[in-house]
Structure 1
Amino acid sequence: MILNLPPLEKRVVVTAVLIFSALAGFHLFTHQYLELSLWISAIFITIYLYEKSKQEKINYQHARQEWDQITREQENMILKMETMMNDAEKLGILGELAAGIAHEVRNPLTTLKGFLQLMGTDLDEHKKTFVDLMLTEVDRIEMITDEFMSVARPHAPLNKEENVISLLEQVEKLLHPQALLNNVQIVLSTNTNLVPLNCGGNQLKQVFINLMKNAFDAMPSGGNLYINVLQQSESIVIHFIDEGLGMPEEVIAKLGEPFFTQKEGGHGLGIMMCRKIIDAHNGTLEIQSKVGAGTTFTINLPIQR
């Protein structure tokens, strides 16, 4: 017990115990038992006081460590709050810009949509198919402007039963020319008949388009984009797996922050909007990546919200 003392305190206590022991031995030899008992008590009191002091130091160290931990947590919380305030300020500015941009975009869209509808009345069925496809994309552009404005004014997705595989196939067909240009092969697979999902179909298509375009950009030399769809007990899980460049952890941590992007000419709003849409569906978006080994985006959507 005494051998574990710090050097200075060890010398003091050992010296005191030796002196008390010598005095106790003397009184034992002279048969002075009262004095003997006093010096033995002094030995035990000395050791007890030291042990108590040592325990108080240990308790102080523990309390100091807990205080330091609380201080670090408070500092981290303050940093997060400052980041949230900065993001809120950016979103406020972005919302004002979005309102103006959406207004300017809708005007030519209205004209374009009207002329397409007029053209469709004079075309044969084969050519009318292309016009219908363009009208569908014009409707989606209008929806995207609404979603862009939802940065400042979020709204709930439309509740309609949709087939996720059908939505993915529509997006795959839409992006097929771009995939060919980027030498990317899209591999869509599912191992079960999926139940319909109560969701906003156009909003999920916007998420799928963003993630697939990100995968194209991540594979400048081409590669495979695997889209795996699974149905679990209470959710539908969609994996977007590319063979691209991958990302380090510090980049993954910042994905979804307004205006954070690694793309030349990018605006950093794609992943942020994807997260907002998936959050509105009570779902989750997880990102796993390794530099040089590709990236996996995993969407988990509850079947009943």
Structure 2
Amino acid sequence: MIKEMQLLFENPDNYCPAGLKQVNLKNAKHKQKKEALLNNEEQFRLIFENCINGILLTLTDGSVLLANQAACRIFGFTPENIFEVGKTSLFDSEDPNFLPALKALRKTGKFKGELTLLRKDGTKLQGELHSNRFRDKSGRSLNCIIISDVTERRQVEKEKTKADRFCLIGEMAAGIAHEIRNPMTSIRGYLQILKSKEELAGYADLFQIMINEVDSANSTISEYLCLAKNMAVDLKPVDLNTILEEFCLAISDDLVKNDLKINFEPGEIPYLLLDSLQIRQMVINLIQNGFEASPPGGCVTLKTFLKDDHVILQVSDQGNGIAPEIKDKIGIPFFTTKNYRKGLGLAACFSIASRHNAHLDIKTGPAGTTVSVRFELIPSLFNNYT
């Protein structure tokens, strides 16, 4: 008996009753299932919290039950206070797509499309939504909403469409101008010949007036040709700051005469591949617009700096900003609010920027307008700079 008890303590599994063994086996399997369930819950939690898209779980009345970090970031709320707002406070009810989205969700339980999002600070974003209605174990009706912030993507698409439209109009204008320039050159040549003839000396002043008019027309034609995207560029490694410094020096006397000021703030930037003449023309157009928008005695600020792998050229004025109703028309060839202008200045700037693989952006408000031109860094020139 003592020997059997000793063997039991040394090898309890060999002497365990069959029923007890079965209970132990069930307990082990239950423990494994519980651990697997906990692991799955942890994995789902990690996926939920680290998903780059916003995820909301809401009741049908709009109450937010769950929100991941991306959703809080998109709407500008903290994880604690996003639950205090309803779903309807997160979306712009004035968006024409809002009511159709609600109707689709009520009718089919699903919605896929874009809606305007409202951040906590009142700013609006463009969101791409996938919403699905389902019931939990208790029978509650819930909505799972997956949100992607597509504001930047839509803005880029809008700017590309706008640039393509500008390009088409510009190409048409440049093509027509090219066809006109050739006969105008011939006309000017023959006028000079006629002016030089002794028997027509009495008409010399009239011939000169006609030559001046032809020169004026040719000047306009040259502006039209600047709109052509395929206009040749003479790209060379150039210091943008040097171009701007030379320009400011060249117009310093005119600035004093007209009670105008330029504040030039050059930053430390690498050389860029630029066509100096075209960049100079772009700067002239931007500064001219800045002075026209600024009050008498106003100042236009020129800045250059390095940001996010780009060299930025900024031109800022002290005007009242661009009216909202014409903001989207700015840069369209031949659009102008001034009777004495042709509406080609900013259009030419967009074309010049495009030929340099640069991006031109306009931000405006009551305190003035800032035009930013972003030039891509040239690796070889940037490496020499660093």
The two structures have a TM-score, normalised by structure 1, of 0.56
> How far apart in 1 are the matches of 2:114 and 2:318?
46
What is the aligned partner in structure 1 of residue 260 from structure 2?
184
In structure 2, the CA distance between the partners of 1:143 and 1:289, relative to structure 1 (3 Å rule), is same
Q: Which has the higher helix share?
A: 1
Please tell me the residue identity of whatever aligns with 1:279: S
* Partner secondary structure for residue 287 of structure 1: strand
Q: Count how many residue pairs are aligned between Structure 1 and Structure 2.
A: 210
Q: Mean alpha-carbon deviation: is it higher for 216-225 or for 161-170?
A: 216-225
In structure 2, the CA distance between the partners of 1:158 and 1:246, relative to structure 1 (3 Å rule), is same
**RCO higher in structure (CA 8 A, sep ≥6):** 1
What is the aligned partner in structure 1 of residue 373 from structure 2?
299
> How far apart in 2 are the matches of 1:282 and 1:247?
26
Residue 275 of structure 1: CA displacement?
0.7
In structure 2, the CA distance between the partners of 1:160 and 1:59, relative to structure 1 (3 Å rule), is same
- Does residue 1:164 correspond to 2:164, yes or no? no
In structure 2, the CA distance between the partners of 1:248 and 1:67, relative to structure 1 (3 Å rule), is closer
In structure 2, the CA distance between the partners of 1:102 and 1:258, relative to structure 1 (3 Å rule), is farther
In structure 2, the CA distance between the partners of 1:157 and 1:85, relative to structure 1 (3 Å rule), is closer
Q: Mean alpha-carbon deviation: is it higher for 153-162 or for 280-289?
A: 153-162
What is the aligned partner in structure 1 of residue 313 from structure 2?
238
What is the aligned partner in structure 2 of residue 249 from structure 1?
324
- Listed one character per residue, the Cα deviations across residues 269-293 of structure 1 (whole Å, up to 9, x for unaligned) are 11111111111211111111113x2
> How far apart in 2 are the matches of 1:169 and 1:250?
36
> How far apart in 2 are the matches of 1:106 and 1:160?
34
Which structure 2 residue ranges, 5 or more long, are not aligned?
1-59, 61-102, 117-156, 190-217, 380-386
> How far apart in 1 are the matches of 2:253 and 2:183?
30
Contact 1:227 1:240 in 2 (8 A): yes
> How far apart in 1 are the matches of 2:109 and 2:305?
52
Q: How does 1:94-173 map to 2 (within 5 A)?
A: 95-101=175-181, 104=184, 148-152=224-228, 154-173=230-249
The two structures have a TM-score, normalised by structure 2, of 0.45
Residue 258 of structure 1: CA displacement?
1.5
Contact 2:229 2:354 in 1 (8 A): no
In structure 2, the CA distance between the partners of 1:255 and 1:230, relative to structure 1 (3 Å rule), is same
> How far apart in 2 are the matches of 1:283 and 1:66?
32
- Listed one character per residue, the Cα deviations across residues 37-90 of structure 1 (whole Å, up to 9, x for unaligned) are xxxxxxxxxxxxxxxxxx998244856x85999xxxxxxx9xx98997798467
> How far apart in 1 are the matches of 2:377 and 2:283?
18
> How far apart in 1 are the matches of 2:280 and 2:350?
13
In structure 2, the CA distance between the partners of 1:199 and 1:84, relative to structure 1 (3 Å rule), is closer
Residue 143 of structure 1: CA displacement?
10
Please tell me the residue identity of whatever aligns with 2:249: K
Q: Which has the higher strand share?
A: 2
What is the aligned partner in structure 1 of residue 304 from structure 2?
229
Identity of aligned residues (%): 22
Q: How does 1:1-305 map to 2 (within 5 A)?
A: 58-60=106-108, 62=110, 88=168, 91-93=171-173, 95-101=175-181, 104=184, 148-152=224-228, 154-192=230-268, 194-232=269-307, 234-291=309-366, 293-304=367-378
Contact 1:95 1:151 in 2 (8 A): no
Contact 1:240 1:297 in 2 (8 A): yes
In structure 2, the CA distance between the partners of 1:223 and 1:152, relative to structure 1 (3 Å rule), is closer
> How far apart in 1 are the matches of 2:178 and 2:322?
29
Please tell me the residue identity of whatever aligns with 1:187: N
* Partner secondary structure for residue 301 of structure 1: strand
In structure 2, the CA distance between the partners of 1:106 and 1:276, relative to structure 1 (3 Å rule), is farther
